[in-house]
Amino acid sequence: MKRYCYVLLLCFVLCGCSHAANEVTSFFGIESSAVKVVKYSHPKDFPDSNYSVAFSEFFAEPKWLSYEGTIPGPDNDGDGVSDSERTECKVVEFDGKVVYNDKVTNVKIYFDSEEDSPEPICTKFDDVPQNQLVGYLLVKKAFTGE
């Protein structure tokens, strides 16, 4: 028991309180209300499912986090850097793995949980922001399998 307390304390110190608290609650299977809002919503083009079902079937090692912070924008000009950002948001971040161009790629998809119908704002492949079309096509593939 002491060992677990030390590990948790170390997480809080090294990662910052809110992020570490997120990791601890995720570890124990407790989801924030912000994560639930996004997971159980759907893109307007795919009303017959939700992000939770589609993403858990499509991505390997799916993880959901929520925190207050900044959401990067897409990279529509192709320079590898987000073109904009939203600050002071209730961010929900999805993290999963998928095979892309014959390589296992880490994907992060960012949502603003305060929107009425949360839609992906930014998609990153191996921490490189993608343009809006790539993000849309990835979500479409997750929902349709096409």
- Residue-wise pLDDT tens digits, 10-54: 344 344 444 444 444 444 457 899 999 999 999 999 999 999 999
Residue type, 135: G
- Rounded to whole angstroms, how far apart are CA atoms 19 and 74? 23
Summarised one tens digit per residue, pLDDT across range 86-128 is 999 999 999 999 999 999 999 999 999 988 889 999 999 999 9
What amino acid is encoded at 116 in this protein?
A: D
Residue type, 40: Y
Of 24, 26, 50, 54, nearest in space to 38 by CA: 50
In single-letter form, the type of residue at position 65 comes to L
* Tokens (6 digits) for 30: 């407790």
85-100 and 103-112: which strand pairing?
antiparallel
